[in-house]
Amino acid sequence: MSDRVRAHFSENARYVLEKRYLRKNDRGEIIESPEDMLWRVASVVASVETSYGESADEWAVRFYNVMAELDFLPNSPTLMNAGTPKGQLSACFVLPIGDSMDAIFGALSATALVHKSGGGTGFNFSQVRPAGDRVRSTSGVASGPISFMELFDHTTEVVKQGGTRRGANMGILEASHPDIIDFVKMKIEGAKLTNFNISVGIPDSFMKAVQDGGDWDLVNPRTGEKARTIKAMELWELLTEGAWKTGDPGVIFLDRLEACNMVPSCGKLNSTNPCGEQPLFPYESCNLGSINLVRMADERGEINWGRLEDTVRISVRFLDNVIDCNVYPLDEIAAMTRGNRKIGLGVMGWAEILFARGIRYGSRESFELAERLMGFIQRVGHEESESLANARGSFPNWKGSVWDSRGRPMRNATVTTIAPTGTISLIAECSSGIEPVFALAFRRKAFDNDTLIYINSYLEDALAHIGEQSSAILEQVLASGTLSDADVPRSLKEVFVTAHDIPYNEHVEMQAAFQKYTDNAVSKTINLPNSATIEDIRGAYLLSFDLGCKGVTIYRDRCKESQVLYHGSESDAGPGIGSDGRQIKPRKRPANLRGSTVKIRTSFGNLYLTLNMLGSRPFELFATLGKSGKDTQAHTEALGRLISLSLRSGVPVRDIIEQLKGIGGSQPIFENDGIILSLPDAIAQGLERALGETVEISPGDMCPSCGAAMVHAEGCMRCVSCDYSKCY
């Protein structure tokens, strides 16, 4: 059609689309272009219009154009599945967990169906009786909610979404459950649950008990009787220590969720989707979409309010249509979703708006702009939902809702959500959600094994504007990702901040500013540097409660990769990290050590690894590669030295193996009925042989696509190297 605009995707965006979104035939060959994909989605979503007396063709063009212009993009399941036999278009689901085997295994079956369809699931396990409680039917004892979480985690591990990725889960346990201490400690103690975010459900009464130094009752959900009483501060300190050490658990403020429950007749809100931004009832789903703020502003970051209003209105209509054309994995989900018609419209590209306007992320000016912007989006979104209600009818459960009490017809029980935009922001080539940028410049692996240099375009323009010689400065930025050590004017350092340059209170205040005008919740990670203290974690949690956030996720840099997990005194922690979190110098090498040597065949020649032990602990590794070029040998020796430094600093050898094992290379080779993927993989397997054991790989903070590091944003994980994102 001549009135369809031309889509302008970058080369990187097209690669992401080809890898994850475009339809393929049985031979894995791509059979549609990015433009075809957008038209496929637009046509399906617009087909609903005929039911309301509108032109499907006209609206298909409008929906296509708003996506082709990159003004708005829906969540990934909509882009992937619209117009396909799967047809499931929502990202967020909550499923009920009851206190019986039938209820639990019924939820397990539903989880597999949701994950297979491309959705993520959230659960509240608080109704499951505690470990050790009686089971009348078998005269036995219950295993408790944690054991069932492990079952759900394993199911997620084996059910891939569309054959390309695994699903994500949110597991919530309320602070009053008798197993809450074990729940908080489980990731500290090394429990895997790699497909779960976990959060403690916290009522206001618990926060008051913490602030007053009071007691806290743990109550058996089966009987309603008090199991025991603890000090609220005991649980609070353990919770914040766990978040400092591992990034888990987060917190969900349950009374805040319920205060914003627009349809209380449907029950209480005590669960969210995997990234925490979408509170939902059991069997409810929600489809999400985000407006690209970069497209709503000029080069100085000035918002075009008219364009933003038009985009909000068409986006609300688009998301409302998705509810009607969606193919739901369960009848119960279809009924609850259509009954409330919740949608979640959010934003992405916030960091670029601040760069363009010369406003520091975390400044008072940035908070005021955030409130003005989101207040506008919420107001216009509600107006459009009311307009749709007048034309099509309010959501079926409107009678008795909060909207009913206000005398306002509404098509959707909720309209706005700040959701993760991991992959769709890559397509739109903007920053994720309302997060700050993670680096101003970085190197990324290209698809032909080359390395490309990415530099923030706003920084380049700012340097050019003040006449700075950018080449030397950019080398400094490439080394650290920030301007903190660069020789540039203070004004630039003030504006061009990255996630770890921002103190926790400013992260929280930004989340609270957007939450003020968001119907549902805000997905954001409070990213902190490795040097952050437990007191910083406590401060962030308390401030988020005081400022009205509905939940919060905190991630301290490298806490999962380099932190030695331990209990007890500093002497129990090993030589690397003390109980106060401060680094300790590596141990000096004794004069005599005992060890063993193993040989592994690689595509570069035989690899000889000598692992020396200090008592029962691995202490150092020597790596030598026979019949290889000088560069390859140098890389091998360098890996050996770094591994030795890590071992002498107390890093567990299993953590080292987990980081190296499975990294792919260009020349894999079969060896001893197995496959050696690369030199790092060979070293990992050699360490296993030297130790006489096998270490199972856990995804952790490694990208499953390329093996590079992943960053935490919006309660999700995103690879900075190959563009992989686990969410949406």
* Active site (catalytic) residues: 273, 275, 277
Q: What is the DSSP string of 83-149?
A: TSSS-----EEE----SSHHHHHHHHHHHHHHHHHT-EEEEE-TTSPPTT-EETTTTEE---HHHHH
Please tell me what DSSP assigns to residue 175.
Answer: T
Is the CB of residue 278 less than 8 Å from the CB of residue 416? no
Q: Residue 185, Cβ neighbours under 10 Å: how many? A: 17
Q: Which residues does 686 contact at the CB level (< 8 Å), separation at least 6?
A: 598, 600, 607, 609
Residues forming a β-bridge with 200: 173, 251
The distance between the two most distant Cα atoms of the chain, rounded to a whole number of Å, is: 86
What is the helix (H) or strand (E) element at residue 442, kind and residue range?
strand 441-445
400 backbone φψ class: left, alpha, beta (φ>0; ψ -120 to 50): left
Structure tokens at 87: 């047809």
CA distance 524 to 504: 12
Q: Which helix (H) or strand (E) holds 254?
A: helix 254-259
Residue 653 corresponds to which tokens in the numbers above?
């050898």
Beta strand segments in 486-632, E:
525-528, 551-556, 594-602, 605-614, 617-625
Dihedral through CA 76, CA 77, CA 83, CA 86, nearest 10? 150
**111, 152 Cβ separation under 8 angstroms:** yes
What is the SS3 assignment for 728? coil
Q: Which residues contact 597 (CB under 8 A, 6 or more apart)?
A: 608, 609, 610, 611, 690
The residue count for the chain: 728
SS3 labels along 326-363: CCCCCHHHHHHHHHHCCEEEEEECHHHHHHHHCCCCCC
- Residue 621 amino acid letter: L
Which residue stretches of 393-516 are H helix?
402-405, 422-428, 457-465, 470-480, 490-495, 504-515
Please enumerate in sequence order all residues whose Cβ is within 8 A of that of 212, keeping only pairs 6 or more positions apart, or say none.
none
Between CA 19 and CA 23 the distance in angstroms is: 10
- Residues forming beta bridges with residue 160, ordered by sequence position: 166
d(CA 381, CA 343): 10
